[in-house]
Amino acid sequence: MGGVEVSDKGLWTGRSVLVTGATGLIGSWLVKELLQRGARVVAFVLDADPQSELLRSGDIAHCHVVTGDLADFTALERAVNLHDVDTVFHLGAQTLVEVAHRYPLATFESNVRGTYNLMEVCRVHRGLVGRIVVASSDKAYGSKSDLPYREDMSLAGAHPYEVSKTCTDLIAQTYGHTYDLPVTIARFGNVYGGGDLNWSRIVPETIRAILRGQRPVLRSDGTFIRDYVYVKDVARAYLRMAECMDRPDVRGEAFNFSGEKPTSVLELVHAIRRLMGREDIEPDIRNTARGEIKDQYLSAAKARERLGWTPEYSLDAGLLETIGWYRDHLGA
C-alpha cells in the first residue's frame, strides 16, 4: 500500500455529505457505503425512480432528499446551505453516449451547467464545504492512439458526451486552481453493477436478454476495447479520494481508476454468457454505434501509488454479483 492508510470508517460518522445523482448506478452504491459508515447523507435527485437501488434497497429512507435539477443553482445552493454540507460527491450527469449524440443540449445543461453551478455554490459556501470529489470519465480524454490513458495527457473530447465530460473536468480544475477549492477528480472507464437501469448499456442488456432467452444486442461491432470496473470498487475509490483530500499530492489532482485489464465487448459478452451457462446464445451484432471512441483504457498507477487503491473484484467476481442482482430484480 506504499504507506497509505486504509479507509477510515470513523472519518464519516456524523459528517454531512451531499451526493448528486444519488439514484444513479454509482450514486446508489456510494450512498450505501456512506450510510454504513455513519454519514448523514443528503441525496440530490432529479427523478425518484422506484427501480433505482437507492429506493429498492430502502436506503433512501435514511437520507435527507433534495429534489432538483443540476441546472438550477438555487436548488443546489439549498442542498448545500440548509444541510451544512461538509463533503460533496458530484456524480449527477446525463451519462449515455447515444442520448448525448441524439440530444446534446440536455447533456450540456446537465453535465456542464450543472458542474459550474455546483462549483460556484461550493465557492460561495466554502466556509462549509471542505472536500469536493467530481466524477469525470475516460471519455474526457477523447480519442488517442497512445494507450493507456494517463493523467498527464490532454483532455480533448470531440463528440457531445466526451465534450461534456471534458468540460466537467476542466471546470472542476479551474475552481481548484483559481479559487483553491478542495477538489479532486475521478476518471473511470465503464462502470457496471447491479442497479444499472440503462438497458442500452452492454452489461445490463446482455444479462436481461439471456435471462429472457434472447440474443443480446451489440450496438458496436464487438471489437471496441474498454475498461470495466465494478461499482463497489468505484464507490470505495470515491471515498478514498475524499479521505485523502488534505494531502498535497491528492488535493487538486485527477486520478484514473481501472482494473487495468482491457476487454473487448465480445470478450465481455462471452464472459457473461459463460457465467450464466448460456454460451449457446450468440450476440446480435448491429454495428450501429455513433459517437463512440473505439479503444479506451486507463493506467491506474497514480491511484495505486498515492491512494493505495486497487480493485477488490475481478471481472468474473463482479459479474457474478451483478448477474445475481438482475436475477432478483427481474424475478428470474
Q: Catalytic one among 149, 161, 230, 313? A: 161
* Inside any domain, residue 146: yes
Q: Give me the domain span that covers residue 17.
A: 13-193+230-258+298-312
278 occurs within a structural domain: no
In this structure, is residue 147 part of a structural domain? yes
Catalytic residue at 175?
no
Radius of gyration for the alpha carbons in the chain, expressed in angstroms and rounded: 19
Q: Is the peptide bond before 204 cis (omega within 30 degrees of 0)?
A: no
Going residue by residue through the chain (332 aa), what tens digit of pLDDT does each one get? 333 344 566 889 999 999 999 999 999 999 999 999 999 999 999 988 888 999 999 999 999 999 999 999 999 999 999 999 999 999 999 988 889 999 999 999 999 999 999 999 999 999 999 999 999 999 999 999 999 999 999 999 999 999 999 999 999 999 999 999 999 999 999 999 999 988 989 999 999 999 999 999 998 899 999 999 999 999 999 999 999 999 999 999 999 999 999 999 999 999 999 999 999 999 999 988 776 788 999 999 999 999 999 999 999 999 999 999 999 988 86
Domain assignment present for 151: yes
Any idea what the Cα angle at residue 223 is, between residues 222 and 226, rounded to 5°? 100
| Residue 5 pLDDT | 41
Indicate whether 176 belongs to any domain.
Answer: yes
Q: What is the pLDDT of residue 232?
A: 98
Does residue 328 belong to any structural domain of this protein?
no
Q: Which of 48, 87, 93 is nearest to 66 (CA)?
A: 48
Q: At what angle do helices 73-82 and 114-124 cross, to 10 degrees?
A: 40
Identify the residue whose cell numbers are 436478454. 209
> Does residue 170 lie in a domain region?
yes
CATH number of the domain that 189 lies in?
3.40.50.720
Domain total for the chain?
A: 1
